[in-house]
Structure 1
Amino acid sequence: MPQPLDLTVLDAVTLFAGDTELQLVPSLKTRAILAFLAITGRPHSREYLCELFFADTKDPRGSLRWSLSRLRAVLNLDMPRLITNRRNVHLDMSHIRLDLDVVRQTYMNQTPQTPDLLRAALLVSRRPLAHLSMPRQDRFDDWLTQEREMILSMQGHIIKALTAASDLSDEIALKWLRHWVRIAPRSHDAAFALWQRLTQCDQQQEADVVATTYRKMVGNKPGSWYAAAPPLKIPLRRNHEQTIRYCTTADRIRIAYASTGDGPPLVKAANWLNHLELDWDSPIWGDTFRTLSNNHTLIRYDERGNGLSDWNVRQLDFTAFVDDLEAVVDSLGIERFPLLGLSQGCAVSIAYAVRHPERVSALVLVGGYAAGWRHAMTPAQLEQREAVLTLTRHGWGTSNPAYRHIFSQTFMPDADADRLAWFDDFQRRSTSAENAVRFQEAFGDIDVRHLLGQVRVPTLVLHARADQRIPVSHGRELAEAIPNATFVELDSPNHIILGDEPAWQVFMDEITRFLRIHGDAAPSQ
């Protein structure tokens, strides 16, 4: 019987057999390869591993062979755990216990016990995977950034759940919340949770310091914290309200998707940007997603390049976006469903509906367009857009939110400072600078104008009258070109309709009424 091994990757990469530490070579790249294989849990081609880890060496394949031989000598003593052939490399995790899996399992548990939460919180109590950073390894760094953001998101949910446990004292809860703010100082959720608990415990002086510090950090005043009703001492919401799973596309990209609510399916196409964990509880989309989940099983997903899906991808274009949607609905086995598109998700929804008319019962298109920015701009406008791409490329991941603020203010000119600050941070955490540029370039190339006349399903088009991101004329063009489409103009300047503006209720009422008539899962006779 092979002996189970214990592998830690959240802190320094270490490997144990029982109480005995197995000696790994000191090579950072070799340890990073081990961590990468363990965290991803799937086979990878040698070519891909060479691109990730050895693009800066004269002999990438030789360097990879050396690292694999050193790992094989430690991992394969009593059974073949590291399995290699001429093309692929795979780490068999069936007899390896990974520390990150403890965190994942606790996070996914709908009713976690306090000791389990505490153990998971301790595992993620430091900056995750910090020891794996390597200079001049851009592709690996993109993957590492993605994994860190996923772990940080789980960290936040675990600490929130832990500090809401009824058997945890205020003293211990505050200790953990203070720690969360120290390791994630720009996190709105961390600062607000600490401020709220301090207020509950009548420690208003420290609560005011937390609010002031956060304001100075992000450059905005958290006024809505004080404007809100006094916080009640109730358990904070946990992520078990949604179920997150993964599927794999034809080109082996891992796509995260989530389902919430109960009832007939409603599938939402991805948009700029998505992160299943962050946007579910967000002050931006939370009201909309929860309302849609009241009468439907709402299915959302993070398309490739952002959120919880794979960031490090070769193909990031419109065809891939449609393929990602197809992979999600195929994995769920849904035969027929209404499809909701927001912004560029409208074009993706249209393309899918034309490709699979037998599977789509209705289309709801919000703030959409048929042709991307490259197809309609003047030379001067194109030059301005290219300048934004340059700013994004160089400033996206910095602590200065000015670059991301370009997007936030055009998406929601009516939003308060708290929402804009949240959206700034959300964008940074949802994708890398490289992918933010690639997304914008892909959106510019979108063109489904030739498909509009081929749509054969009932279609509702909604668009904000003063939308500063996508002019309302684009929505009218969709409605005019799609046979028998219904057009509703919303009285709002916001590209993202917010839950506390008057237009939001109209927005939700129109969607509810339309889906009640056309959103059935069975094809009409």
Structure 2
Amino acid sequence: MSRLDIRLLGDFELARDGEPLALPASRKTRALLAFLIVTERPQRRERLCEIFWDLPDDPRAALRWSLSKLRPIVNEADIVRLVADRERAGFEAIDTEIDLSRIEARLADPTASADALTTCARLLGEELLTGIDLPDQPDFAAWLSYERERVERLRGKAVKRLLEHPDMPPDRAIDYAERWIEISPFSRDAANALIAAYRQMGRDREASHLIREIKSRFADADIEWAPEEPAPDAEPATTRERGRALLERQTINFCKAPDGVNIAYATVGEGPPLIKAANWLSHLEYDWEAPWSPLFRELAQDHRFIRYDERGNGLSDWNVEDLSLDTFVTDLETVVDTLGIERFPLLGISQGAAVSIEYAARHPERVSKLILFGGYPAGWRLTATPEQAAEREAIITLTKSGWGQDNPAYRHIFSATFMPSAKAEQLAWFDDFQRQTACAENAVRFLEAFSVIDVRHRLAEIRTETLVLHSRGDKRIPWEVGRDIAAAIPDASLVTLESDNHLLIEGEPAGETFVEAIREFLVR
């Protein structure tokens, strides 16, 4: 006994045991078969004649001809699926799989998995019975329009089930909620689901904007709507949950620098590109749980956010001969050329700011906008006072012996300069992170390389629109350094962040100021 497979979503197709069946060339005949399959009950011949044929023709003869063409396609020696007598004609789904029926059954199953529901939502995005329209037959056109609207409602149901599913990642919930409200622009449930999805990801500013937009649209249609407020005990997705959701969508690849060093780079998010120059202490996987990771997650909401691990660090090759400004810039050039991005905004943090300045000076045609945070144009060996130099030398000495160890003295001198406002658990995470990003030998080599960086002569050459951000109380790179960068780059803007941290940490107001300033800068 063979099985008949019927596809109603998209192009109307039939197959027997996987082999496609040729349907009649007559569109009306194909439409007749589709109508009988979807309605799932016998139809009076008179009604079929009214739906498919005009009165001046011989509708009964036309119906008989169409049925004669369909019988050998769907019937078999021992299976009669197309049943017709003198009064009625209908289709019986004997040993038949119909895509739409299968989807409806899955949506009715309360135990359906998130993957199964995702498949349903995707399939329901196909138009019902593409190419079967009969614009000259108004009754059929009205029926088909109704059935297509029913499929759209089913798609909304699938999306709603997905949003309520415990395995749905918070970031993907936004995608599906947006699809739902596209399907049902005046659905209160869809509107509330979209607002809730944005709040779940911590994107309250965008949620507020959407509330105003949806209220206005509903008011124009004379529909009352007020957003559902979250329950008092409801908590948004945790930092770790949001980080993992984004991490699942991150892709990591490798490219080879001219000297043969493998450089790991990652892309996450959608939209226009935003490239971040590498800075020390990074790891493309572990970064997403760092105290500073919320800043990355926010930037990835609006952009295709591209990062890479510096040579000697993270997922890039650790065993390298050269750690210098020139190789740091070459690594950035390699990543950009590998991705084939012609023009992009460039973000440089800490010593990554010097790398970004040098790259923008070498390639002004490539950098659309330049963003520098906590940066410096010259290393401490070139600018430090004797007291500052002694402190930095002490850090290098402690790094040689204390890197990756639970040494309170080392942690106090080294970690506290990066994040003096961090909590004990954040500092503990930072200590462990050190072990994962680089070995002690490379850590010392990095500190030595950074100490002699010098791009001061490049600042006046920058013609790219530039935004400089710096923490007022930065203990590692004083605020005055950031101010001087902004003064030296023609027409650069300076934003002072009210923080003591060189690396902004989750929860401090300066982090929100940082993200808002960058967003406004990139769209103006």
TM-score normalised per structure 1: 0.53
> Would you say 1:251 and 2:259 are equivalent positions?
yes
Quick check: 499-508 or 454-463, which moved more? 499-508
Q: List alignment gaps of at least 5 residues for structure 1.
A: 1-110, 113-163, 167-226, 518-525
User: Contact 1:408–1:423 at 8 Å: present in 2 too?
Assistant: yes
Task: Determine the structure 2 residue equivalent to 1:394.
Answer: 401
Q: Give 1:342 shift.
A: 0.5
Deviation of the 1:272 alpha carbon: 2.3
Cα contact 1:404–1:427 (8 A) shared by 2: no
| Matched residue, 1:367 | 374
* Cα deviations by residue, 1:385-431 (Å, 9 ceiling, x for unpaired): 22221111122133436424432211111111111111111122110
Distance 2:471 2:352 in 1: 16
Shift of 1:464: 0.6
1:360 Cα deviation after fit: 0.4
Contact 1:269 1:300 in 2 (8 A): yes
Map residues 105-504 of structure 1 onto 2, 5 A cutoff.
237=245, 239-279=247-287, 281-400=288-407, 402-504=409-511
Q: Contact conserved, 1:459 with 1:486, CA < 8 A, in 2?
A: yes
SS of equivalent to 2:302: coil
| Distance in 2 of aligned mates of 1:419 and 1:287 | 14
Name the amino acid aligned to 1:341: G
Cα pair 1:401 1:424 within 8 Å, conserved: no
Q: Give how far 1:229 is off.
A: 5.9
TM-score where L is the length of structure 2: 0.53
| Structure 1 residues 288 and 337: CA distance shift in structure 2, 3 A | same
Residue 269 of structure 1 and its aligned partner are, at CA, apart by 0.6
Confirm whether residue 512 of structure 1 aligns to residue 519 of structure 2: yes
* Structure 1 residue 283 displacement after superposition: 3.8
SS at match of 2:296: helix
Distance 1:228 1:385, change over 3 A: farther
- Cα distance in structure 2, aligned partners of 1:231 and 1:475: 35
Q: 1:378 is matched by which residue type in structure 2? A: T
Give 1:238 deviation, angstroms.
Answer: 7.4
Structure 2: 5+ residue runs without aligned partners?
Answer: 1-113, 116-165, 169-232
Change (3 A) 1:243 1:480: same
2:154 alignment partner in structure 1: none
Shift of the 497–398 alpha-carbon distance from structure 1 to 2, 3 Å rule, reads: closer
Q: Which sits farther off after the overlay, 383-392 or 473-482?
A: 383-392
Question: Once the two structures are superposed, what CA deviation does each residue of 1:223-247 show, in whole Å capped at 9, x if it has no partner?
Answer: xxxx996999x99647322111100
Kept in 1, the 8 Å contact 2:246–2:268? The answer is: no
Q: Who is 1:177 aligned against? A: none
SS state of the match for residue 293, structure 1?
Answer: helix
* Structure 1 residues 433 and 473: CA distance shift in structure 2, 3 A: same
What is the distance in 1 between the residues matched to 2:518 and 2:297? Answer: 14
- C-alpha separation between the residues in 2 aligned to 1:476 and 1:361? 22
Aligned residues: 296
Determine the C-alpha separation between the residues in 2 that align with 1:360 and 1:375.
28
In structure 2, do the counterparts of structure 1 residues 438 and 255 end up closer, same or farther at CA, with 3 Å as the change threshold? Answer: same
Give 1:383 deviation, angstroms: 2.9
Between the aligned residues of both structures, percent identity stands at 59
User: In the alignment, is the contact (CA less than 8 A) between 2:280 and 2:313 conserved in 1?
Assistant: no
Given the superposition, is the C-alpha separation of residues 238 and 344 from structure 1 closer, same or farther in structure 2, using an over 3 Å criterion? closer
* Amino acid aligned to 2:303: H
Partner deviation per Cα, 1:435-460 (whole Å, 9 max, x = no partner): 11111111100110000000010000
Matches of 1:373 and 1:398, distance apart in 2: 25
SS in 2 for 1:276: coil
Residue deviations 1:226-282, cap 9 Å, x none? x996999x9964732211110000000000000010001000011121100000x22
Q: Distance in 1 between matches of 2:237 and 2:479?
A: 39
Counterpart-to-counterpart distance in 2, 1:385 and 1:228: 46
- Aligned residue for 2:348, secondary structure, equals strand
Match of 2:192 in 1: none
Structure with the bigger RCO (C-alpha within 8 Å, sep 6+) is 1
Tell me: CA distance 1:231–1:260, structure 2 relative to 1, closer, same or farther (3 Å): closer
CA distance in 2, matches of 1:230, 1:282: 16
The alignment partner of 2:484 has SS state of helix
Query: Is the 1:362–1:459 Cα contact (8 Å) retained in structure 2?
Result: yes
Query: Is 1:271–1:345's contact at 8 Å kept on the other side of the alignment?
Result: yes
- Paired letter, 1:315: D
Partners of 1:243 and 1:399 in 2: how far apart?
Answer: 33
